[in-house]
Amino acid sequence: MNTTANNKANGLGFDKSFGNLIETIFNDFPNHIKGEAYQHGFKGFAPVNIFEKDNSFFIDIIAPGFSKENFKIDIVDNILSVEALPIIEAGSENGNTHKIIKQQYTLQPFKRSFTIDNKIDTDAIQAEYVNGILKITLHKKEEARLASKQIEVK
């Protein structure tokens, strides 16, 4: 009996494409849970913390190494999109050309999208980039602030 090695196997007996599928499912798990619009074509993944405090929501996106000029933030059809595209001129630094000896990291572009509802004042959205974190503040509209009340349990 002859046996041949399966070049597709990943060492665990699974086809590599199956392993890639499982990896994709686990990597994308937060997107599926939170209902975020999944973006194809972007290599990087930027971790996000979202929290609410009194009259605002806050989105913190971890994105070290960028500058504020690298970010594009817009709202279309109640989708808040945050995109980061590094501006890199290959082979030059301060106008001088150079040869890269070793490169262990590159800035990866990413895009994250969030569905917002009509309770957000889109004219008052603010963003700032501080210490590698893009901080986006979404203020609630006045009527959304007044609509909340505490219900007593009897």
In tens, the pLDDT along 88-143 reads 665 555 556 677 788 888 888 999 999 998 889 999 999 999 999 999 999 998 87
Domain that holds residue 61: 36-91+104-146
In a domain, 49, yes or no: yes
What pTM did the predictor assign? 0.62
In a domain, 5, yes or no: no
In a domain, 55, yes or no: yes
In a domain, 52, yes or no: yes
In a domain, 116, yes or no: yes
**Residues near 66 by Cβ (< 8 Å), separated by ≥ 6?**
84, 86, 107, 129, 132, 134
How many structural domains compose the chain?
1
* CATH number, domain with residue 53: 2.60.40.790
pLDDT at 7: 47
**Residues near 118 by Cβ (< 8 Å), separated by ≥ 6?**
78, 141
